[in-house]
Amino acid sequence: MLIVIVLQCGYYYVKANPSQSETVFALNTKEQTKIDSLKNHQPEASVKIYPFNPNYLTDYKGYTLGLSTSQLDRLFAFRKKGKFVNSANEFQAVTKVSDSLLNEISPYFKFPEWVTQPKTKNIFAKTYSNTPKTNAQKTDLNTATSVQLQKVNGVGKTLSDRIIKYRKTFKGGFAADIELQEVYGLTPEVILKIKEQFTVKTPREISKLNINTASVDALVTIKYIDYEIAHNILEYRKLHEGFSSLNELSKVKDFPISKIEIIKLSLHIQ
């Protein structure tokens, strides 16, 4: 019992008086040297700068870059007039920043492309003005060269070569300007620009069929007309006692209306 009492007293004494000594965590000399080196050479925190348009600086952005209140006020007053700075030198002239600060922040200036890369003038502007040409002034589409065609805005070497290649597929070349629609890659806008400078003055001859007497076998020789459409043409012709105009073809069942002008080159009415 005496032993139990002594142990209980010792337990409560230790609990009431905890040890005040600190635990010592020892490192070897090599590791301790690394830690001391890192503590002595901690890099200072820096603000990362991203490219920006100096015309739209905010108060906060300006302060982080090092601009004073008066320098920012000069820029804001300049912008209120609806004006823009378009270079580092102009920025300095407006804000009065020092050369050292300008050299520090100007590499991050980002101006619009129309400022940094102004458009060059069209070298063909004098050759092809906005004044519409008369038919006599236009160049014959059947004799135009690749170089001449490339002077039209939107026509490069590839398209000019396609135009000439299509022209060569027929003896006599183009029959009419409308055949430009058959050249792959030519958009309606580009075709319109071509027609402002070129036109067919020496059309090739086409043997035309009389729409009111042509047979099915004769009609299918025309591009874009198959046997089904040819039968529909004859059926329409019979019901209406003939065609009074080639434009009536648009009323024929399943007729390729988008190609009607091309098809009309091979037809006529008697």
Task: Note whether 139-199 and 209-268 share their fold.
Answer: yes
Residue 63 has phi, psi (to 5 degrees) of -65, -40
Question: What whole-number distance in Å separates Cα of residue 147 and Cα of residue 173?
Answer: 18
The runs of H, that is alpha helices, within the chain are 2-16, 29-40, 59-65, 69-80, 88-95, 99-105, 113-116, 146-149, 157-168, 188-197, 216-219, 227-239, 260-264
Structure tokens at 249: 């073809």
Query: What is the CATH topology of the domain spanning 139-199?
Result: DNA polymerase; domain 1 (1.10.150)
Could you say which architecture CATH assigns to the domain 209-268?
A: Orthogonal Bundle (1.10)
User: 131-137 long-range CB contacts below 8 Å, 24 or more apart?
Assistant: 132/196, 133/196, 133/197, 135/199, 135/201
Q: Are 141 and 174 in contact (CB under 8 A)?
A: yes
Helix (H) or strand (E) holding 210: strand 209-210
Q: What is the pLDDT of residues 42-100, one digit of tens each?
A: 544 456 778 888 888 888 888 888 899 999 999 999 988 888 888 889 999 999 999 99
pTM of the model: 0.49
Structure tokens at 237: 């012709």
Give the number of other Cβ atoms within 10 Å of residue 259's Cβ: 15
Q: Are 152 and 138 in contact (CB under 8 A)?
A: no
DSSP code of residue 219: H
Helix (H) or strand (E) holding 139: strand 139-140
Please give the average per-residue pLDDT across 189-212, as a whole number. 93
State the pLDDT at residue 30. 60
Residues in the chain: 270
Domain segments of the chain as ranges: 54-116, 139-199, 209-268
Q: Are 233 and 269 in contact (CB under 8 A)?
A: no
Q: What is the pLDDT of residues 232-254, one digit of tens each?
A: 999 999 999 999 999 999 999 99
Q: ∠ CA(163), CA(128), CA(177), 5° rounding?
A: 35
- Mapping DSSP to helix (H, G, I), strand (E, B) and coil, where does residue 198 land? strand
Q: What is the pLDDT of residues 134-189, one digit of tens each?
A: 888 999 999 999 999 999 999 999 999 999 999 999 999 999 999 999 999 999 99
